[in-house]
């Protein structure tokens, strides 16, 4: 089974790019993050041969799953906390998680909160959100695949210059520990061998041209064996590209034979 994750940074702006990617990538499941639209505004990709599910509440966040191997039991609540700017207002869930069963594998598209600044309550929200993901995974099914923009670089090898990020979010020990705790829940990072291969380059400062990026788009799995993992860096090139590139993994479902498509 080939699974891809891609922070699309506005699916309506980049609908043609998604269509082109589906035509040429041969993915079985594509998970999108930061779609930036409501469910009613999400494009109809049914003509591509992919079933789709989307969870979006407004022009922020938003996650989707597109699958050509079945899409059953879509849901967006894995016990994650909510957030509101006003700490005394109801802390309602944001559109940051969407799961479905695709080809017998439970797949979740996740858009982890950014965290903003270490002193910001959004940072605590990020840690609590990741802990909810960990708890769900620990009690969840097998096979299971959690993918998405995790907004954390797992190691110093996953940022172009660790000194630039000193004292900032995405690289703090607490964030990295929260991410590593997914291993305690029985998951393995399927993309771990991609250290030093970036998945995100800021639009500012010519970061892509200078190859100054981060590896923050990740895949975690249980009950699946990784055959191959790579970043489609070409999707970051050209006019109108997202600031993230798709991350693709070929899996074999444990207990089956064969690679891609198994």
Q: 């992919």: which residue's tokens?
A: 50
The answer to whether 7 is a known ligand-binding residue is: yes
Q: Which residues are catalytic?
A: 111, 149, 244
Residue 73 burial (10 A CB sphere; 0-12, 13-18, 19+): exposed
Q: Is position 114 annotated in a ligand binding site?
A: no
- DSSP codes joined into one string, 151-189: ---SSGGGBS-GGGGTTSTTS-HHHHHHHHHHHHTT-EE
Pairing state of beta strands 188-189 and 217-222?
Answer: antiparallel
Q: Is 120 annotated in some ligand binding site?
A: no
Judge whether 34 is annotated as a binding position.
Answer: yes
Neighbour tally for 50: CB within 10 Å: 19
CA distances for 100 relative to 44, 106, 118, 123, 219, angstroms:
18, 6, 33, 28, 15
Distance CA 190, CA 213 (A): 20
Strands 224-231 and 51-55: unpaired
Q: Residues marked as binding? A: 7, 34, 149, 151, 243-244
Q: Residues marked as binding for Mg(2+)? A: 7, 34, 149, 151, 243-244
């Amino acid at each position: 089974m080939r699974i891809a994750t891609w922070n699309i940074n506005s699916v309506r702006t980049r609908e043609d790019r998604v269509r082109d990617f589906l035509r040429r990538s041969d993915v079985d499941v594509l998970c999108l993050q930061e779609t930036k639209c409501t469910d009613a505004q999400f494009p109809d990709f049914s003509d591509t041969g992919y079933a789709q599910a989307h969870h979006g509440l407004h022009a922020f966040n938003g996650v989707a799953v597109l699958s050509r191997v079945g899409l059953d039991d879509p849901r967006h609540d894995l016990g994650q906390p909510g957030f509101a700017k006003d700490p005394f207002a109801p802390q309602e869930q944001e559109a940051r998680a969407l799961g479905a069963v695709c080809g017998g594998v439970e797949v979740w598209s996740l858009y982890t909160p950014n965290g903003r600044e270490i002193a910001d309550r959004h940072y605590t929200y990020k840690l609590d959100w990741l802990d909810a993901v960990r708890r769900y995974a620990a009690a969840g099914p097998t096979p299971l695949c959690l993918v998405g923009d995790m907004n954390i670089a797992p190691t110093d090898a996953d940022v172009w210059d660790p000194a630039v990020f000193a004292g900032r979010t995405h690289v703090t020990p607490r964030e990295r520990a929260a991410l590593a705790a997914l291993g305690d829940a029985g998951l393995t990072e399927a993309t771990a061998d991609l250290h030093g291969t970036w998945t995100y380059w800021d639009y500012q400062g010519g970061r892509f041209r200078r190859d100054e990026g981060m590896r923050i788009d990740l895949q975690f799995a249980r009950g699946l064996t990784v055959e191959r993992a790579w970043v489609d860096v070409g999707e970051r090139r050209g006019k109108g590209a997202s600031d993230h590139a798709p991350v693709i993994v070929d899996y074999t479902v444990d207990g089956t034979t064969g690679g891609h498509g198994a």
